[in-house]
Chain A
Amino acid sequence: MNAVPRRIQRVLAGISLPVYLLLYAPLSVIAIFSFAPSLGHPGPNVAAYGLLLNDPQVLAALRRSLTLAIGSAILGTMLGTLMGFGLSRFRPAKGGGFWLGTLPSLIIYLPIIMPSLVFGISELIFFNFVHEYTGLLSAGLLTMGIAHVTFQAPYVALVVYARLAGLDPNLFEASQDLYANAVKSFVFLTIPVVRPALIGGFLLAITLSIDDFTISFFTAGPGSVTLPIYIYSAIARKGSSPEINALGSLMIATVIGVALLYYFVTRHRERSNRIPAVA
């Protein structure tokens, strides 16, 4: 750590503490309220969790959420990997100017920057349009899946691209030099070296899908209520309840769990794969 004056360190600590508080206080409030007393259950209790796990609507929504998350994450990771690979591999050496350098990455990254409201509405209009003329793509898990893939893939591409960009460019030439054609080079070099990024990107895609509400809301059909949509409608109908708080707490725990998994997987892999730069 470079020498940061102690006074500045204190100021920074003074700013970051309230920020952390602001970030995590609501989460802990939900967690605490999930144990709140309710009708017939005085004092702190876990009745809400029991109710939740026996609610067929919740379980169906959970199943749909997981199906959607895993399915879209697999597809999103595959597409995102190819995008990240293409972005790093076929970019001209000198940046390529606007048309070959900036534009391709802009097109890929735009869904990340785009407000999800705009994204969701445009998906809705697009799917309606297609459905009207072809009868395909009626609103449901399929349309939600397509929408999820389109916003997951850029994130995966970003992670994979970062990994590839950090590698010695000579590695790919070395594989060609050692008799690997393009396909062998991809299978025996590219895939193994980006594997940590691949796993990380996959887990990231799952978390993105599980907690997405806006885009899901616009692309969902009557039979494809996922957890976030279920929570929204439950709150809209009867306000916050211990069950909803319990559900929220479980989702927070899951996402934290996946994030930790992601952290340890990538960190462990990174460490065993790193080659210190030659001075």
Chain B
Amino acid sequence: MNFEFSDEQKELKAQARRFLDAKCPTTAARAVLEGPQSYDAELWKGLAEMGFLGVVIPEEYGGLGLGYLEQCVIAEEMGRAIAPVPFSSSVFLATEFLLAAGSAGQKSAWLPKLAAGEAIGTFAQVEGVGAVSPKAIQARFEGGKVNGTKRVVADGDIADFAVVAVRTASGQDARGVSLALVDLKGPGVTRTVVETIDPTRSHADITFDGATAELLGAAGEGWSLISQVFDRAAVLTAFEQIGGADRALEMARDYALDRMAFGRPIGSFQAIKHMLADMYVSATLARSNGYYGAWALSTGAAELPEAAASSRVAATQAFQHCAKNNIQVHGGMGFTWAFDCHLFYRRSNLLALNLGSLSQWEDALIERMRARNTAA
């Protein structure tokens, strides 16, 4: 039994921790929160130099050619640092869509730039409020042009290209959904920055008015590709959430040790101790489910859909739980702008929604368990 990351993977994690401790203290996220910039461009460049933007990209495309376990440990450190960069859009989604369905030409055009941090990619899916179904994909692809509006696209204001969920056949079902690759710097693209609950990660609405595009993958395969890539992204995002949960727990623990009330450190009161113990329990359950997801992702196991949903549900619950109770442990100070608690609270609630809601993933988890039971 060796259900653990290897020494090399742990060393990579330590390297990422050292880099982010130096280059991405919480003041980095705060600068984006309070300043005009959409992301920390300097940090992005540094991550590219470290090779962290191309961990799973094959060496022939300028990446490190490593595996998903390596990607997971870096994702965890990015989450810990609440890094204000388009990592999840570019690495977990755009890169994964290209690897899953890109033609040789599309891969050659974009993967080396993604790995080098010279291009930012994202995924544009949402068109309205509520869970996205095939019916909700109404942006049209016809004759090499896309028309329609995508809402709340993560990093939509800074991305160089987007993978766009489009309709290639009339009707409302999944068979008419495809993916289109759109150069966002070209004509026919209008972007409007959207204010969100977490301004440390920028979002924009994008209107396509005859924007030039080409299909990514075959027509009609879009819905199935989205599902595949979201499972992969769910595991990676879970590690980002696990990193955030751990950091929020540590902040709360440290504050409980320092802060005195009634002549004692508040961490000596059982009401606080038990809250912290419960946060530890959530974070630990998330980590252990995450390991299951990491194993399934890295080995290409048939259990991936179920393991990904388990990872996603546990990690979402844990980060939300730890981030909100971190504020509670800090008391009034936790609700000030000056303290960092709200940065984690904001991020935990952003990540809880970015691949679809917690309730969608809860539903998916049980559906998938049921499918396996029926098959068995």
User: Are A and B a genuine interacting pair, yes or no?
Assistant: no
